[in-house]
Amino acid sequence: MPKQVDHRERRETIARALWRVAEQRGVTHLTMREVAQEAGISLGQLQHYFSSREAMLSFAMEFASEQASLRVGRGLAGLGDRPHPRDVLRVMLTEMLPLHADARATSRMSAAFVLEALHNENFHARARGGMVQGRAIVEQLVRQAIADGYIGADRDPVAETNLLLALTGFTTLIELAVVEPQEVLTAVDQYLDRLFAEDGRRTAS
């Protein structure tokens, strides 16, 4: 009997090929033909799984988000049953930065998608929705940390959330080799240390 090809698995293979094209050659090369070539399949085979470039890009971005969430989940699992909120935020922030191969691939995919979203209403709504959701999660963590006494009560949760997310702006500096990854990690740690200063921290009961 001929081997059955899993539809989802093939779509993921194509998505990873698209990531490689985005990472190695840039946004202008994100055509269905070039992605098919990178995936080692014909254009017709690719079109069997994705009817349009937009559908292909949408799935690749969704898959990138899923993989980033899985990495965060694995990082959080390594913190134990009752992790300190500082450590939770550190995992979330560092996994948004291109500090290793997987994160770099998904980070560049995200950057490509944002560029597309500037001129595509459907992409814009999807990209904005994902960022709004992600920001809300970070703000909830900050608010809870303030309520639990880990962060000083005088801190503005909205401003602190925005400042934390601003740290992901290191992505461009890393990609262009303006700063070294270790320098970025030092900056993230120092900022978190200041946010979770001793006068705002209490021991979890």
User: Residues 139-179: pLDDT tens digits?
Assistant: 999 999 999 999 999 999 999 999 999 999 999 999 999 99
Q: What is the DSSP string of 135-148?
A: HHHHHHHHHHHHHT
- Residue 22 above 60 pLDDT? yes
Domain count, the chain: 1
- Residue 33 above 80 pLDDT? yes
What domain range is 126 assigned to? Answer: 54-200
Residue 139: CATH number of its domain:
1.10.357.10
Cα 145 to Cα 21, 134, 200, 202, distances in angstroms? 40, 17, 9, 10
- Residue 204 above 50 pLDDT? no
* 96 occurs within a structural domain: yes
* 49 occurs within a structural domain: no
DSSP reduced 3-state for 119: coil
Greatest Cα pair distance in the chain: 68
Instruction: Give me the pLDDT at residue 7, please.
Output: 87
Instruction: Give me the pLDDT at residue 202, please.
Output: 52
Rg (CA), the chain: 20
Q: Which residue has the tokens 């009560």?
A: 153
Q: How far apart are CA 197 and CA 151, in angstroms?
A: 7
* 162 occurs within a structural domain: yes
Q: How far apart are CA 103 and CA 64, in angstroms?
A: 9
Q: How far apart are CA 204 and CA 148, in angstroms?
A: 8
* 3 occurs within a structural domain: no
Least confident of 11-20, 117-126, 167-176, 196-205: 196-205
Query: Residue 86, class by beta-carbon neighbours within 10 Å (0-12 exposed, 13-18 middle, 19+ buried)?
Result: middle
* 95 occurs within a structural domain: yes
* 48 occurs within a structural domain: no
Chain segment 52-105, per-residue pLDDT in tens: 999 999 999 999 999 999 999 999 999 999 999 999 999 999 999 999 998 999
Chain segment 61-70, per-residue pLDDT in tens: 999 999 999 9
* 98 occurs within a structural domain: yes
In the chain, the N- to C-terminal Cα span, in Å, equals 60
Other CB atoms within a 10 A radius of the CB of residue 158 amount to 12
Specify whether the backbone of 177 is left (phi greater than 0), alpha (psi in -120 to 50) or beta. Answer: left
* 20 occurs within a structural domain: no
